[in-house]
Amino acid sequence: MTSKQQVDNDGFVTVEKKFKYLSLSGNNNNNNKRTKNKKKGRYYFKDSDDYTLEDLESILSKKRETLIESHFYKDLFDILKEQLLSTKPKEMICYGIGSIQHSKNAQYQFILALLIRDILKDYVDKVSIYDPVMTELDKELSKSHNIHVIDINEDGKRTVSKPTLFYMPHCGRGLYSNTLSVNWDKQSLPNVIMIANRFDMYVGSQLERDLRRECPYLIPAVELVEYTSFPKEFDDNKIFNDLSIITFPKDKVNATTDDFWNNVPIEQEEKS
């Protein structure tokens, strides 16, 4: 029995098993006729829990081809070059992508992270990644692509002193607020560049009290940000939808007063 692995366009690994039968020949009452059994090959879907690094790399290769050949990426590529190269980030932090082993969305988001690193190769010295749901295979994959796996859950609270790109597609609003909170001053905030959901998706459209409790730093941040939106369509439009490149221009930051930084409307959660 021999087997061969294949990856389809959706990234499913199948194993084609081919059975070889020995031909039996011999004298009998039917003029020594040769008989032969013939059976078709069978296909088995491979569960993602059983993926190897080779399986995952094959899936990512298919996904990468689909992404870079799309009209979405052709438009996005120009946006990334125009908006990110001028920021000259020295480091890239990837939060909240999910499990690359188990999630189609995470696979595409991981591929985009690699493509962005290629675009910024003249500037970015280090790429790091963390998500609490990452599997051992996810970590092995990341390391094979020279991406540092962060050991602990930082809750997004990474202070930066040099231009840093935070790649945070579809993270929770609290995580965005945490990243802002530890860089909330005139010196640090302009060093924060984010690929994230627009803050004004939350501020102004949700209860003020919930915002003050769950993501208070988004409230004043909307006065400082500049957005460059991603193209609108890719695949089923749930992988990169509503994402933007978010920056905090120095002129806007420097025009603020001390009260702006000291009066973030934080509301503590009620104790039961």
Going from the C-alpha of 93 to that of each of 25, 99, 213, the distances in angstroms are: 67, 16, 25
The pLDDT-based confidence of 271 (bands split at 50, 70, 90) is: very low
Per-residue pLDDT at 38 exceeds 90: no
Q: Beta partners for 167? A: 94, 195
For the chain, give the mean pLDDT: 87
Per-residue pLDDT at 2 exceeds 60: no
105-164: pLDDT as tens digits: 999 999 999 999 999 999 999 999 999 999 999 999 999 999 999 999 999 999 999 999
Q: Beta partners for 128? A: 93, 148
The pLDDT of residue 13 is: 61
Per-residue pLDDT at 15 exceeds 60: no
* CB contact set of 102 (below 8 Å; sequence gap of 6+): 48, 135
Q: Average pLDDT, stretch 71-78?
A: 96
The pLDDT-based confidence of 35 (bands split at 50, 70, 90) is: very low
Q: Phi/psi at 160 (nearest 5 deg)? A: -125, 145
The pLDDT of residue 1 is: 52
Given a contact cutoff of 8 angstroms between Cβ atoms, the answer to whether 134 and 96 are in contact is: no
The pLDDT of residue 77 is: 97
156-211: pLDDT as tens digits: 999 999 999 999 999 999 999 999 999 999 999 999 999 999 999 999 766 788 89
- Which tokens hold the place of 253? 């930051």
CA triplet 130, 120, 99: central angle to 5 degrees? 25
What domains, with CATH codes, occur in the chain?
Answer: 2-46 (no CATH), 49-262 (3.40.50)
Per-residue pLDDT at 31 exceeds 50: no
In 13-131, DSSP assigns E strands to 13-18, 42-45, 91-95, 126-130
Given a contact cutoff of 8 angstroms between Cβ atoms, the answer to whether 227 and 249 are in contact is: no
* CB contact set of 218 (below 8 Å; sequence gap of 6+): 173, 176, 177, 180, 199, 202, 203, 211
Q: Cα separation of 128 and 64, whole Å?
A: 20
Q: Average pLDDT, stretch 38-66?
A: 83
Q: Average pLDDT, stretch 33-45?
A: 48
Q: What is the DSSP letter of 35?
A: B
More confident residue, 1 or 110: 110
The pLDDT-based confidence of 11 (bands split at 50, 70, 90) is: low
Count the alpha carbons within 13 Å of 168 in the hemisphere toward its beta carbon: 27
Per-residue pLDDT at 3 exceeds 90: no
Strands ordered across the beta sheet of 164-167: 148-149, 126-130, 91-95, 164-167, 192-197, 243-247, 226-229
**Other beta carbons less than 10 A from residue 168's beta carbon:** 23
